[in-house]
Amino acid sequence: MKFSSRQVEDIIIIPQYDWWSPTGPQGSLHKFNKVRANFIRKNLMNDAMPIETQEEYFSKFRVLDIGCGAGILSESLGRLGMGSVTGIDPTDKCVELAQAHLKLDADLAKKVTYKNTTVEALIDEKFNTNNNQSPHKDELYDLVCCSEVIEHVNDQQEFLRKCAKLVKPETGYFFLSTIAKTPESYFLTILMAEYVLRLVPKGTHEWNQYINVEDIEGALSSQAFRTVAKAGAMVTNPLTMEMDEFPNWLRGNYMILSKRLI
């Protein structure tokens, strides 16, 4: 996962904020987290239609959360009942914060772990690149998540290809959330969020790094993935900043769940 020097500086600064305060600087992320966790839960169940209960079905899942930050999504996935969740992040301070917060819940700590590493290093570990060996599919993941990360990556197509390699063939899923490259997204996520409402620090987003859902779908289709579901996410109450899912609006923040076919 390669970042520009500006983006690395931003990522290093982020851990100084109170990630875990719902009313703090990361409050909007907590609002969005409810939406993305529910999107993942319901669409996994709708697509698989397992004969067992949700608890039984999810208990078999090995999950990877790429760019986990302080662990907000990782912990939510653990609480959904996923069998194991591994969060990885290239910033050691983020991982330290995630590990510290995880200690507050002993039961959750049994299934969630964090590593200060990159996608590239994990692929080297799994695929044993030097010996040109591929891992058994059980060493890969039933669900790979990449939330609010790709807009900070320089080579987005290569990054998606690497993420796809970590998804279990035939049965695994890939979840991604990011921001579309549209005039609406510039207005909402930069002008409003950074300069007017000051929900996030100025310079957090770079509009030229945004990517549309069609480009994500095209890249994943070339890696033998099919789209399971996609939806936008918008603030529905400007007073409380509560967010909700909008299946037919993909011109700002959006989510997509895909399944690997082979």
Smallest CA-to-CA distance from 199 within 191, 207, 211 is with 191
Alpha carbons 13 and 9: distance in angstroms, whole number = 6
The beta-carbon contacts of 122-127 under 8 Å, at least 24 apart in sequence, are: 122/64, 122/88, 122/166, 123/162, 123/165, 123/166, 126/166, 127/165
* CA 69, 190, 235, 241 torsion-angle sign: positive
Alpha carbons 54 and 42: distance in angstroms, whole number = 10
Confidence of residue 8 (pLDDT cuts 50, 70, 90): very low
Cα dist. 80→41, 56, 87 in Å? Answer: 8, 11, 15
pLDDT digits (tens, 9 = 90+) for 53-103: 999 999 999 999 999 999 999 999 999 999 999 999 999 999 999 999 999
Residues paired with 31 in a beta bridge: none
Smallest CA-to-CA distance from 152 within 14, 31, 44 is with 14
Q: Which two tokens stand for residue 46?
A: 């709708």
Smallest CA-to-CA distance from 38 within 236, 250, 259, 233 is with 233
Task: With beta carbons less than 8 A apart as the criterion, state whether 226 and 258 touch.
Answer: yes
Q: Which two tokens stand for residue 98?
A: 């995630």
Q: Which two tokens stand for residue 235?
A: 């603030």
Q: pTM of the predicted model, to two decimals?
A: 0.92
Alpha carbons 211 and 200: distance in angstroms, whole number = 20
Task: With beta carbons less than 8 A apart as the criterion, state whether 261 and 225 touch.
Answer: yes
Q: Which CATH architecture has domain 5-16+27-47+60-260?
A: 3-Layer(aba) Sandwich (3.40)
What does R_g of the chain's alpha carbons equal in angstroms?
Answer: 17
Across residues 222-226, what is the average pLDDT? 98
pLDDT digits (tens, 9 = 90+) for 30-60: 999 999 999 999 999 999 999 999 999 999 9
* CA 150, 156, 15, 252 torsion-angle sign: negative
